Amino acid sequence: MTKYTQEEIEKIIQRLEKMHPEAHCELDFETPFEALVAVILSAQCTDRRVNIVTNELFKKYRTPQDFASIEQGELEELIKPCGFYKNKAKNIIACAKGIIENFNGEVPSTIEELTTLAGVGRKTANVICAEIFKQDAIAVDTHVKRVSNRLGFVKSDDPYEVEMALKKIFPKEKWARMHHLLIFLGRYTCKAQKPDCANCLLNDMCTSRK
């Protein structure tokens, strides 16, 4: 693990902002429940593909009530391009039913409540808390995990440990922002196979640079 000073952490945030000022959630949605469906669909799928699918899906089905009564086979067909469609369809329907039965039809706003819903793990719950409820939360996906290890913020493959390490390193008001900045770093520069270290503004600080 690399020990960064407070000054270096500030510098890292500033440089990430310089590299990806446009970093933001790339999923399209209008309501908390649509956000939840989009995030569930985004597992192992690009945000672009999810948006293409939800653009059609949300024209017809929008509320937990809509999804609780949809026939699973029909939902599977509609979300097929997102992959793992059988499981995702099953989870979305069960999630909609759980929201109606246990939360009066409203998407809950805590990690503990959200993770009681089908198909909602800690990462998804953190995304919803940050994006919808504007809470200080860091969702750890595959990009965040990889770049956090490469930059030496943590040495762990466990998303929960990575989340806790990032929460210790970065100021609370930056948690949600760091999620987007680290995702964009991982998506466009610090890629899994071929990190573009030559064009990375963190290359003078990163011990994993090539």
* Of 25 and 201, CB closest to ligand SF4: 201
* Of 36 and 182, CB closest to ligand SF4: 182
Residue tagged active-site, from 18, 90, 136, 141: 141
Residue tagged active-site, from 3, 123, 155, 172: 123
Q: Could you tell me the smallest distance in angstroms from the CB atom of residue 191 to ligand SF4?
A: 8
Would residue 136 show up in a list of annotated catalytic residues for this protein? no
Would residue 18 show up in a list of annotated catalytic residues for this protein? no
Q: Measure the CA–CA gap between 1 and 156, rounded to whole angstroms.
A: 10
Work out the end-to-end distance of the chain between its first and last CA atoms, rounded to an integer number of angstroms: 18
* Of 87 and 203, CB closest to ligand SF4: 203
Q: Could you tell me the smallest distance in angstroms from the CB atom of residue 150 to ligand SF4?
A: 4
Residues that bind ligand SF4 (CB under 6 A): 147, 150-151, 189-190, 195-197, 200, 202-203, 206, 208-209
Torsion sign (Cα): 116, 117, 122, 126:
negative
The CA-atom distances, in angstroms, between 29 and each of 63, 131, 201, 207 are: 12, 11, 32, 38
Amino acid letter, 18: K
The residue count for the chain? 210
